[in-house]
């Protein structure tokens, strides 16, 4: 089994000097669960290559996160030399996982190549998963009949309340919760910054940075069925 992990290439909030990037734990905690279960992971980003880290995420590093972050494999294949979408063979993967960090709000939506990869993984019976802002990668996915994948589905992601609490509400291009509702998804949420995960068939989504492990464990159970 193999899972494709999607990362951002964006370093700043739009045309500002305010830095962002991948929220580190959203990748490392997910990868830890997969690796412990013997499931391989690959890393892709919209442009391939370098993946920046949100500096604020480094404040939450614990020993488990540090072990993955300092591993040569993660630093090479995820942070320095992530795959380009054109290098991905969708048939190789049982699931795709969209990580977060505010950067994804600029380079996940509108990426036709990532959309096609995820659509194919889902159509072949695989799982589409995300955590926090990674929900932005799901907005344009479609069923074979042309409907939005999230329409009518129970999902979650970084909430409008959490966006305001993060202090970045005026710097982001949209609110994930509002976009999900616009597309008629059944957006669910719990208390701000508390771990929460929703599964609706082969869609598994987590609300915030503290939900990555729960997403991974849900996916693991689903993959083993």
Secondary structure (H, E, C), 137-178: HCCCCECCCCCECCCCCEECCCCHHHHHHHCCCCCCCCCHHH
Decide: 134 and 104 in contact? Cβ < 8 Å: yes
State the Cα–Cα distance between residues 189 and 204, nearest whole angstrom: 14
**What is the model's pLDDT at position 225?**
83
State the Cα–Cα distance between residues 10 and 37, nearest whole angstrom: 30
Longest Cα pair distance anywhere in the chain, in angstroms? 46
Task: Write out the chain's pLDDT in tens, 225 residues.
Answer: 999 999 999 999 998 999 999 999 999 999 999 999 999 999 999 999 999 999 999 999 999 999 999 999 999 999 999 999 999 999 999 999 999 999 999 999 999 999 999 999 999 999 999 999 999 999 999 999 999 999 999 999 999 999 999 999 999 999 999 999 999 999 999 999 999 999 999 999 999 999 999 999 999 999 988
Distance of CA 110 to the CA centre of its chain: 15
The helix or strand, by DSSP H or E, that contains position 190, with its residue range, turns out to be none
Is 35 considered catalytic here? no
Which one of 29, 102, 132, 177 is the catalytic residue?
Answer: 132
Is 102 considered catalytic here? no
Decide: 97 and 118 in contact? Cβ < 8 Å: no
Give the residue among 145, 149, 82, 141 at the shortest CA–CA distance from 112. 141
Which one of 26, 162, 163, 177 is the catalytic residue?
Answer: 163
Phi, psi of 44 (to 5 degrees): -135, 150
Q: Which two tokens stand for residue 146?
A: 């042309």
Which one of 133, 140, 162, 177 is the catalytic residue?
Answer: 133
Is 133 considered catalytic here? yes
Q: Which residues contact 199 (CB under 8 A, 6 or more apart)?
A: 154, 218, 222
Domains of the chain: 2-224 (3.40.50.880)
């Amino acid at each position: 089994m193999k899972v494709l992990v999607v990362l951002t290439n964006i370093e700043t909030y739009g045309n500002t000097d305010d830095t962002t990037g991948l929220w580190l734990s959203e990748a490392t905690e997910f990868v830890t669960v997969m690796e412990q279960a013997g499931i391989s992971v690959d890393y892709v980003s919209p442009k391939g290559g370098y993946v920046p880290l949100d500096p604020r995420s480094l404040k939450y590093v614990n020993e488990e996160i540090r072990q993955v972050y300092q591993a040569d494999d993660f630093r090479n294949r995820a942070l320095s030399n992530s795959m380009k979408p054109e290098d991905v063979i969708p048939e190789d993967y049982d699931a795709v996982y969209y990580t977060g960090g505010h950067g994804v709000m600029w380079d996940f939506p509108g990426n036709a190549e990532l959309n096609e990869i995820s659509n194919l993984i889902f159509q072949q019976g695989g799982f589409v998963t995300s955590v926090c802002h990674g929900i932005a990668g799901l907005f344009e996915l479609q069923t074979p009949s042309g409907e939005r994948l999230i329409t009518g589905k129970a999902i979650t992601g970084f909430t409008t309340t959490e966006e305001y609490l993060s202090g970045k509400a005026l710097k982001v291009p949209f609110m994930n919760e509002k976009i999900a509702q616009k597309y008629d998804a059944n957006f669910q949420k719990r208390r701000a910054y508390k771990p929460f995960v929703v599964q609706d068939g082969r869609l598994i989504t987590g609300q915030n940075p503290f939900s990555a492990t729960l997403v991974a464990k849900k996916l693991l159970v689903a993959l083993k069925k």
